[in-house]
Amino acid sequence: MAEVRAEMVANVWKLLVSEGDQVEDGDTLVILESMKMEIPVLAEGAGTVSQLLVSEGQVVQEGDLIAVVG
Amino acid sequence: MTTLDVAPAAVTVAAVDLDRDPRARLSALLGAWRPVAADAPADSGVVAGVGKLGGAEVVAFATDPSRQGGALGVEGCAVITTAYEVALRRDAGIVGIWHSGGARLAEGVASLDGVGRIFAAMTRASGRVPQVSVVLGPAAGGAAYGPALTDVVVLGPAGRVFVTGPDVVRSVTGEDVDMEQLGGPDAHGRRSGVVHLVADTDRAAIAKAGEVVGLLADRRTRVRPTADRPMAELLPHSPRRAYDVRPIVTRLLDEPGIELHPKWAPNIVTSLGRLGGGPIGVLATNPLRLAGCLDATSAEKAARFVRMCDAFGVPLVVLVDVPGYLPGVKQEWDGVVRRGAKLLHAFAEATVPRVTVVTRKAYGGAYIAMNSRSLGATKVFAWPSAEVAVMGPIAAVRILHRKALAAVPEPERAELEIALAAEHEATSGGVGRALDLELVDEVIGADTTRSAVSMALAGYPRRCGSHRNIPL
pLDDT, one tens digit per residue, over B89-107 is 999 999 999 999 888 988 9
**Residue, of B426 and B182, whose pLDDT is higher:** B182
Residue of A39, A41, A61, A62 to mutate, interface with B, max B Cβ within 10 Å: A39
User: Which of B149-153, B201-205, B349-353, B416-420 is the least confident region?
Assistant: B416-420
A-B contacts (CB, under 8 Å): 38
pLDDT surpasses 70 at B3: no
Q: Check B330 against A8: CB less than 8 A apart.
A: no
pLDDT surpasses 50 at B6: no
Residue B11, pLDDT score: 30
pLDDT surpasses 80 at B9: no
Residue B429, pLDDT score: 67
Q: How far apart are CA B123 and CA A43, in angstroms?
A: 42
Please provide the average confidence, as pLDDT, over all residues in chain A: 93
All residues of chain B having their beta carbon less than 8 Å from the beta carbon of residue A37 are 240-242, 287, 291-292, 323
All residues of chain A having their beta carbon less than 8 Å from the beta carbon of residue B290 are 7-8
Out of A39, A42, A62, whose CB is closest to B291?
A39
In chain A, which among 19-48 make CB contacts under 8 A with chain B?
A: 34-40, 42
B361 alpha carbon, distance to own chain's centre: 23
All residues of chain B having their beta carbon less than 8 Å from the beta carbon of residue A9 are 328
- What is the rounded average pLDDT of the residues B246-252? 98
pLDDT surpasses 50 at A9: yes
* Total Cβ atoms within 10 A of residue B96: 30
Closest residue in chain A to residue B361, using alpha carbons only = A37
Residue B200, pLDDT score: 96
- What is the rounded average pLDDT of the residues B367-396? 91
User: Which of B172-176, B211-215, B379-383 is the least confident region?
Assistant: B172-176
Structural domains of chain A, with CATH: 2-69 (2.40.50.100)
Residue B8, pLDDT score: 34
Q: How far apart are CA B382 and CA B380, in angstroms?
A: 7
All residues of chain B having their beta carbon less than 8 Å from the beta carbon of residue A39 are 242, 287-288, 291
Residue B431, pLDDT score: 87
Q: Does B429 touch chain A (CB under 8 A)?
A: no
Q: Does A15 touch chain B (CB under 8 A)?
A: no
Residues of B designated catalytic: 141-142, 365-366
- What is the rounded average pLDDT of the residues B231-242? 93
Please provide the average confidence, as pLDDT, over all residues in chain B: 92
**A51-64 residues labelled b (16+ CB within 10 A) or e (exposed):** ebebeeeeebeeeb
Q: Check A36 against B240: CB less than 8 A apart.
A: yes
Rounded to 5 degrees, what angle do the CA atoms B154, B299, B215 make? 40
Q: Check A40 against B240: CB less than 8 A apart.
A: no
